[in-house]
Amino acid sequence: MVTRDGLGEAPAELQKILIKNYFSLLVMEKLTPNFICCYSNGVKLTCKGSPIIEELKSLENRGTKIIICKTCLSYFNIEDQIETGMVGTMHDIVDIQFNAGKVITI
């Protein structure tokens, strides 16, 4: 679960550095989550200008399904800026959480 467009409680610039490091390590270490669900500010990471767009594309190419909250995209008016992943609903996200063996929220 990715709920923010950065990582941790820190200045925005540091949050961006940390999220980049996190996803770069996933790619480098060949760690492939089954799903990445993005909602709230996290949807911005799947759109143009995201600091981790290449990492997300790499994970998606390896089989990770990236689900992006339709309501959040609409709220931020960025539906036309998606570069990776597929639009889903909160129902999809709840279903993934309920059926997952483990859920990590960052």
The answer to whether the CB of 79 falls within 8 A of the CB of 73 is: yes
Instruction: Residue 23: give the domain boundaries.
Output: 12-99
What pLDDT does 85 receive? 98
Q: How would you label 29-52 residue by residue, b for 16+ Cβ within 10 Å and e otherwise?
A: eeeebebbbbbbebbbbbbeebbb
Which residue's structure tokens are 């997952």?
100
pLDDT band at 31 (very low <50, low <70, confident <90, very high): very high
Considering the chain, what is the average pLDDT of its residues?
96
What pLDDT does 60 receive? 98
* Domains of the chain: total: 1
6 domain residue, yes or no: no
What pLDDT does 97 receive? 94
106 domain residue, yes or no: no
Q: What is the pLDDT of residues 33-48, one digit of tens each?
A: 999 999 999 999 999 9
55: domain CATH number? 3.40.1260.10
